[in-house]
A = this chain, B = another copy of it.
Amino acid sequence: MASTALTTIRSNCRKVMCIGRNYADHVKELNNQRPKQPFFFLKPPSSILLPGEGPVLRPAGVNMHFEIELGLVIGKTVKDLQTEDDEEILQYIDSYLLAIDMTGRNVQEEAKKKGLPWSIAKGFDTFLPIAGPIAKEKVRDPHNVELFLKVNGETKQEDSTELMLFRIPRQLSDISKVMTLEKGDIVLTGTPKGVGAVKTGDVMECGLRIGGEEVEEARMRVE
């Protein structure tokens, strides 16, 4: 069941900014170019799926991929932020989320080929399952947590956020020079290697470990 806190997070969310290609091995597995600077795209708040709300829905004809990511809930306005400092950004973070950036991979590949927007590929209803929130105090260093995702019991993704190409200060700084991050906005920080397809009936389990210990609030199961 979704916590009240998580329900509030969804109702307060006005944009979801996602960082693309932020782990080197994930960039390689999709045959993409390693970016010279962070790039990002929007998912709509309507795609958020809370625990207990049911399965991720695969749209007809869509090759649906999972991407496990560390999410940030923004706690106060971030605008034109100039920093590369890990400590300085903590004041802008309210809490953390575990999130799956579900992606219509064939829809995205088609869009990329045609130079079209990614909003459809990334924006279907139920394409953003989240768990948490994880209190800021629990996460001593957001660049040192382990994310994992299993499909039907088999581990598919399992990596540390220390592998991020662009760290969180750089992400928030770059986003905030384009668009103001408002209290309640969500930022997804990119996915490590191992993304893949799920079909109707598959069960995704995922979680987040800090210092080898699993954080209870950040466990999620999606059918």
**Interface residues in chain A, defined as those with a beta carbon under 8 Å from any beta carbon in chain B:** 13-15, 17, 20, 33, 39-42, 44-47, 59, 79, 111-120, 123-125, 178-182
- Shortest CB-to-CB span from A179 to chain B, Å, is 5
Cβ–Cβ contact B15 & A117, under 8 A: no
- Complex Cα spacing A180 to B48, Å: 11
**A47 partner residues in chain B, CB cutoff 8 A:** 179
A20 to B114, CA, bound (A): 13
In angstroms, how far is the closest chain B Cβ from the Cβ of A122? Answer: 8
CB pair B180 A39 closer than 8 Å: no
Tell me which of B20, B114, B180 contacts A125 (CB under 8 A): B180
- The complex is assembled from copies of this chain, and their number is 2
Interface pair A39/B120, CB less than 8 Å apart: yes
How far apart are the CA atoms of A118 and B181 in the complex, in Å?
18
- Complex alpha-carbon distance, A128 and B20, angstroms: 24
Question: Which one, B113, B116, B124, B179, contacts A179 given CB within 8 A?
Answer: B124
Question: Which 4 A-B pairs have CB atoms at the shortest separation, nearest pair first?
Answer: A112-B115, A41-B117, A117-B118, A42-B42
What residues of chain B lie closer than 8 Å to A125, measured between beta carbons? 79, 178-180
Which residues in B have their C-beta under 8 angstroms from that of A113? 115
A39 and B179 form a contact (CB under 8 A):
no
Distance (Å) between the CB of A113 and the closest chain B CB?
7
Looking across the interface, which residue of chain B has its beta carbon closest to that of A20?
B117
> A180 to B127, alpha carbons, bound, how many Å?
12
